Structure 1
Amino acid sequence: MKLYNLKNHSEQVNFAKAVKLGLGQQQGLFFPVELPVIKPIQLLEMLKMDFITRSTEILSKFIYNEISKEKLYQNVKKAFLFKHPLKVKITKDINCFELFHGPTLAFKDFGARFMAQMILSLNKKNESVTILTATSGDTGAAVAHAFYKMKNVRVIILYPKGKISELQEKLFCTLGKNIRTISINGSFDDCQKLVKEAFNDKKLKESIGLNSANSINISRLLAQICYYFEAFSLIPEEKRNNLVIAVPCGNFGNLTAGLLAKSLGLPIKSFIACTNANDTVPRFLNDGKWNPKKTVSTISNAMDISQPNNWPRIEELFNRKKWDLKKLRFGSVSDKTTEKTLRELFELGYVSEPHAAIAYRLLRDQLKKGEFGLFLGTAHPAKFKNTVEKILKNKILLPDELRERINLPLLSHNINPDFNKLKQFLIEK
């Protein structure tokens, strides 16, 4: 598999190198040189496969012969060794596709665990690796648990202090061992900026074997394509030609993966890019002006991102496929409307959380006659227990994954958003 740097097309690497580097020169994202396409007759056969077998087939279309299909199957099996996504009926024409049944109760488990298997598989010389990543909530836990106690791998996770839920923090800041966590006095965008600065320091990058586990890493992104095929396979055949999927968007990796699934040949009619008050992309799609504002805190904190990293990949894909960006549906939802929507879902018999509620709201408002809608449930509502209970005035039981960590002490360090401070930490620890 060949990939090119979106900021320097002459820089081309194979899949193994892209996984190892994370980012290319000038902090450029890697993107496939070839965009494979599955023929309709092949797609029908693939939709009959079990999740692991189908996911192996999908990933092999991108990775080609860099990893044998047999070995890839074993990697996928280890990565996705948890309950598969569940489709839950909400109304006659709308279902929720729950992606939060992994070990850290969020959709990020798919990408993080596959990336961990890829690094383990591709690191033939057993070189020391430092994973540096930023999280706005769920990435941190998924990455921490995926790499926990992995030999020759050190994980550093940055997160905005006081801007993720208490239970999100407990999931990844109580592990210790090879997992180090740092709360940053700032926003997620500040955390993301520090990660980019670290990658821009060539000497530092080489000396500690720096890599990233954000959705900027191609292995995480490709893994997420797989559950869109699973979603499609669960839809009644008569509904498949009019499927609309609403995606809660933060860094836009999840939507990028969905669009890559469409590029492969999955006939999804339309996507809705769903954001909260941090609405850089909806405003851009509305007026054509890229004008990020200061990030504001909301009850859907994992989407509190004003400068989404993956947006250049989406633009590149639309350009390459000659798709019309104006046909991408979009919208933003305020906290007040999010709260109202959570109560509406509860009245329909479904307990949700703020991120999925935003996707449901926009899907409900934009779904046309004859269309079938699916919105992604990206995190377990218990991860936002205090917020959801306050809004719904209803108690939420904690799953075992959260209950066993709630009373453990936080092991995090704290710094200002100062690259020199972070660099010192990376070198000394």
Structure 2
Amino acid sequence: MQLYNLKHNQEEVNFETAVKLGLGQQQGLFFPVKLPVFKPIELLKILEMDFITRSTEILSKFIHHEISKKQLYKNVQKAFSFTHPLKVKITQNIDCLELFHGPTLAFKDFGARFMAQMIMLMNRNHETVTILTATSGDTGAAVAHAFYKMKNVRVIILYPKGKISILQEKLFCTLGQNIKTISINGSFDDCQKLVKEAFNDKKLKESIGLNSANSINISRLLAQICYYFEAFSLMSEKQRKNLVIAVPCGNFGNLTAGLLSKTLGLPIKAFIACTNANDTVPRFLSSGIWNPNKTISTISNAMDISQPNNWARIEELFHRKKWNLKELRFGSVSDSTTKNALKELFELGYISEPHAAIAYQLLKNQLKKEEFGLFLGTAHPAKFKNTVEEILNTQLELPDALESRMHLPLLSYNINPDFQKLKKFLIEK
């Protein structure tokens, strides 16, 4: 698999190099040189496969001969060794795809665990690797648990202090060992900026074997394509014909993966890019002007991102496929509307959480009579226990994954968004 740097097109690397580097020159994202396509007869065949076998076929279509299909199957089996996506009926023409049945109760488990398998497979010389990543909530836990106790891997996770739920924080800031967590006195965008500065420091990058586990890493992105195929395989023939998928968007990796599933031949009619008040992309799609505002804190904190990294990949994808960006549906939702959507879902007999509720609301608003809608359930409601309980006036039981960490002490460090302080930490800790 050959990939090129979106900011420096002359830089081309294979899959292994892209996984190891994370980012290319000038902090550019890697993007596939060739966008593979399943023939209609191939598509029908793989939709009949089980989740692991199908996922191996999908990933192999991109990776080709760099990793044998036999080896890839083993890695996929280890990475996705948890309950696969579940489709839950909400109304007559709307379902939810629950992606939160992994070890950290969020969709990020798919990408993070596959990336961990790739890093382990590729680290043939057992060199020390430093994984540096920023999280707005769920990435941190997924990455931490994926790499926990892994030999020769050190993980450092930055997150905005006081801007993720306490249960999200407990899930990854209580592990210790090879997992280091730093709360940053600022926003997620400040955390992301620090990660980019670290990658821009060539000497630092080489000295500590720096890599990133954000959705900027191509291995995470490719892994997420797999559950879109799973969703499609669970649909009836009628539902498949006019399928619209609403995606809660933060850094836009999830939507990028969905669009890549469409390039592979999955006949998804439309996607809805769903954001909260941090609506840089919806405003851009309306006006054609890219004008990020200061990040606003909301109850859907994992989407509190004003400068989404993966948007560059989406623009490139539309350009390459000669698709019209005007065909991408979009919308943003306020906290008050999010709360009402949660209440509405509860009245329908379904307990959700703020991110999925935003996707449900926009899907319901935009779905046409002949269409079938699917919104992504990206995290377990219990990860936002206090918020959900207050809005719905109900009690949520904590899953074991959260209950077991609830009373453990936080092991996080705290710094201001100062690169020199982060650099010192990376070198000394």
**TM-score, L = length of structure 2:** 1.00
* Matched residue SS, 1:273: strand
The equivalent of 2:292 in structure 1 is 292
In the TM superposition, 1:270-289 aligns within 5 A as 270-289=270-289
2:160 is equivalent to residue 160 of structure 1? yes
What is the distance in 1 between the residues matched to 2:235 and 2:378? 19
1:295-345 CA-partner distances (Å, limit 9, x unpaired): 000000000000000000000000000001000000000000000110000
* Matched residue SS, 1:141: helix
- Report how far residue 123 of structure 1 moved: 1.0
In the TM superposition, 1:207-356 aligns within 5 A as 207-356=207-356
The equivalent of 2:206 in structure 1 is 206
The equivalent of 2:420 in structure 1 is 420
CA RMSD across the alignment: 0.3
* Matched residue SS, 2:406: coil
What is the distance in 1 between the residues matched to 2:202 and 2:42? 44
1:86-118 CA-partner distances (Å, limit 9, x unpaired): 000000000000000000000000000000000
What is the distance in 2 between the residues matched to 1:185 and 1:239? 46
- Report how far residue 238 of structure 1 moved: 1.5
The equivalent of 1:384 in structure 2 is 384
* Matched residue SS, 1:64: helix
The equivalent of 1:364 in structure 2 is 364
* Matched residue SS, 1:397: coil
What is the distance in 2 between the residues matched to 1:203 and 1:143? 25
What is the distance in 2 between the residues matched to 1:181 and 1:207? 20
The runs of 5 or more residues in structure 2 that have no matched partner are none
* Matched residue SS, 1:90: strand
The amino acid across from 1:381 in the alignment is P
1:174-233 CA-partner distances (Å, limit 9, x unpaired): 000000000000000000000000000000000000000000000000000000000000
The amino acid across from 2:428 in the alignment is E
What is the distance in 2 between the residues matched to 1:308 and 1:238? 34
The equivalent of 2:134 in structure 1 is 134
- Report how far residue 239 of structure 1 moved: 1.5
The amino acid across from 1:166 in the alignment is I
What is the distance in 2 between the residues matched to 1:241 and 1:93? 13
The amino acid across from 1:200 in the alignment is N
2:35 is equivalent to residue 35 of structure 1? yes
1:56-102 CA-partner distances (Å, limit 9, x unpaired): 00000000000000000000000000000000000000000000000
2:202 is equivalent to residue 186 of structure 1? no
- Report how far residue 241 of structure 1 moved: 1.4
What is the distance in 2 between the residues matched to 1:109 and 1:356? 17
What is the distance in 1 between the residues matched to 2:206 and 2:28? 17
* Matched residue SS, 1:65: helix
Identical counterparts, % of pairs: 82
**TM-score, L = length of structure 1:** 1.00
The equivalent of 1:54 in structure 2 is 54
2:110 is equivalent to residue 125 of structure 1? no
The amino acid across from 2:393 in the alignment is K
1:26-72 CA-partner distances (Å, limit 9, x unpaired): 00000000000001110000000000000000000000000000000
What is the distance in 2 between the residues matched to 1:310 and 1:408? 34
2:102 is equivalent to residue 102 of structure 1? yes
1:224-279 CA-partner distances (Å, limit 9, x unpaired): 00000000000101110100000000000000000000000000000000000000
Instruction: Could you list the structure 1 runs, at least 4 aligned residues long, displaced by more than 3 angstroms after superposition.
Output: none
- Report how far residue 415 of structure 1 moved: 0.1
- Report how far residue 15 of structure 1 moved: 0.2
What is the distance in 1 between the residues matched to 2:239 and 2:374? 11
* Matched residue SS, 2:246: strand
- Report how far residue 359 of structure 1 moved: 0.0
The equivalent of 1:145 in structure 2 is 145
What is the distance in 1 between the residues matched to 2:228 and 2:239? 15
What is the distance in 1 between the residues matched to 2:74 and 2:241? 33
What is the distance in 2 between the residues matched to 1:282 and 1:19? 30
1:95-149 CA-partner distances (Å, limit 9, x unpaired): 0000000000000000000000000001111111000000000000000000000
What is the distance in 2 between the residues matched to 1:97 and 1:81? 18
2:399 is equivalent to residue 406 of structure 1? no
2:94 is equivalent to residue 89 of structure 1? no
The amino acid across from 1:376 in the alignment is L
The amino acid across from 2:146 in the alignment is A
The amino acid across from 2:232 in the alignment is F
The runs of 5 or more residues in structure 1 that have no matched partner are none
* Matched residue SS, 1:37: coil
What is the distance in 2 between the residues matched to 1:370 and 1:359? 19
- Matched pairs, number: 429
What is the distance in 2 between the residues matched to 1:373 and 1:60? 29
